[in-house]
Amino acid sequence: MWRAVRFIIIAAVLLVLAWWIGGLPGNVTATSGPYRVETSVPAALLILFVIALLMTVLLRALAGIRRAPGGVVAWRGGRRMRLGEMATQRGLVALAAGDVAAARSEAARARKLLGDTPLVLLLTAETARLAGMADQAQEAFRLLAQHKEMGFLGHHGLLRHSLAVQDHEAAHDHVLAAERAYPGSNWLQEQKKELAVRRQDWGSALTLTRNPAEIAAFAVAAARASGTPQHALAYAKKAVKAAPGLAPAVVAYAAALRQVGKPGAAKKALIAGWKVAPHPLIAAAYLEPLATPLERAQAAAELAAARPGHTESELVLGETALEARLTGEARRHAEAALATHGDDGRATDILARLEGKPVHSICASSWVCEACQTRCADWAPACAHCQRPGTLVWRAKDAATAPA
Ligand SMILES: [Zn+2]
């Protein structure tokens, strides 16, 4: 709107000016030697205006030519940089979108235009990683690691790679370098923990977590791997303190107590664990030192008294009664276990054996990774599938496999 108004005003002023000049009276006469030019005032003004315009254009052109060489280089350099930046940006977007081919071509273009700038190196490395070209990724990350400001990202990539290929020594070096480049990062703390787990360095792993489930998992593993009974006892105690309901922790603690010659304390620890969470591993550890079936049946009664009526209590009573040929007791406890609706096939199994029927034991209970839901027969400090530590929990009876 304003533009139009301004245009109209300027046009009107020019028109008025032209009309006024056109109407100026008189003549202009120029004399040079024998030459004599005579013209009207408006024509003379027009000629003057054209001469001034030509002079201005000529001076501008001369100044431009003088500055030319540097100007052209700067212009071309700026253009190169702009194109390189554009390629980098496009490459990063393609990378995020998972378009490997586009990311690769933009990365190559950016590298050609800009050279090995940190961003180009990062783009090149991540693109190569996505394309599965580990060597090329490694090379770019190595170059990036030498950069003062962005070195951390180089070590980040190198560490991730060495963890993936299980090169624990290299991973350790990159952890130290990354720590120097960017001290105290949470990400690095997690990587250190992962590395400690992979190296089965449970003592270090313990110093890197505050999560009770992880503390318990690492402490049980440390107790199991421990060279001396005293150390094993200290670790196992720590594990039980962190997770009183974790059966492997309770069992490790009892085993360590037995090792240092405290069988009474071991029994107490197992009963305490049973109280929190009855588990077949605790029952097995409780009955382990006893030789005769009758002793075992009596011990089972002691243990079961800590959680009367629990499915596991009824099952351990039923199992030991069956072993001791106390068939009436065995049937009663197996039926009681069934009545709790928590049986995973073991109570049915006892009843089948009592009647001499073929046994097809289907135990629905197992350790399950809370993170990836993978089932494992045995407990481990880290999930064998997703490698996350402290994620295995006991699922007494899985909802998916339970009869409706
Ligand atoms: Zn898992």
- pLDDT above 70 as % of the chain: 95
- pLDDT above 90 as % of the chain: 66
- How many angstroms separate the alpha carbon of residue 368 from the centre of ligand 1? 8
CA distance 402 to 391: 22
36 - beta bridge partners?
31
pLDDT of 392 reads: 96
The torsion of the CA quartet 304, 306, 309, 310, rounded to 10 degrees, works out to -90
pLDDT of 57 reads: 84
- How many angstroms separate the alpha carbon of residue 390 from the centre of ligand 1? 9
- How many angstroms separate the alpha carbon of residue 298 from the centre of ligand 1? 39
At residue 299 the predicted structure's pLDDT band, cuts being 50, 70 and 90, is: very high
- How many angstroms separate the alpha carbon of residue 373 from the centre of ligand 1? 6
194-212 residue pLDDT tens = 999 999 999 999 999 999 9
Residue 43 confidence (pLDDT) above 70: yes
- How many angstroms separate the alpha carbon of residue 380 from the centre of ligand 1? 11
Residue 45 confidence (pLDDT) above 80: no
pLDDT of 70 reads: 64
- How many angstroms separate the alpha carbon of residue 177 from the centre of ligand 1? 29
- Cβ atoms of 130 and 140 closer than 8 Å: no
pLDDT of 67 reads: 67
Residue where the block lists tokens 């400090």:
381
Could you tell me which of 274, 358, 342, 332 has the C-alpha nearest to residue 308? Answer: 274
CA distance 319 to 271: 18
At residue 400 the predicted structure's pLDDT band, cuts being 50, 70 and 90, is: very low
pLDDT of 141 reads: 94
- How many angstroms separate the alpha carbon of residue 391 from the centre of ligand 1? 7
- How many angstroms separate the alpha carbon of residue 158 from the centre of ligand 1? 24
pLDDT of 71 reads: 65
pLDDT of 401 reads: 44
CA distance 26 to 24: 7
- How many angstroms separate the alpha carbon of residue 43 from the centre of ligand 1? 94
* CA triple 155-161-164, angle to 5 deg: 140
Find the mean pLDDT for residues 273-278.
Answer: 97
- How many angstroms separate the alpha carbon of residue 225 from the centre of ligand 1? 22
> What does the mean pLDDT of the chain come to?
89
The torsion of the CA quartet 11, 17, 18, 24, rounded to 10 degrees, works out to 170
| Ligand 1 ion: nearby residues, β-carbon < 5 Å | 369, 371-372, 374, 383, 385-386
159-187 residue pLDDT tens = 989 988 888 889 989 999 998 999 888 89
- Tell me the CB-side half-sphere exposure of residue 233, using CA atoms within 13 A: 13
Could you tell me which of 359, 329, 358, 356 has the C-alpha nearest to residue 346? Answer: 359
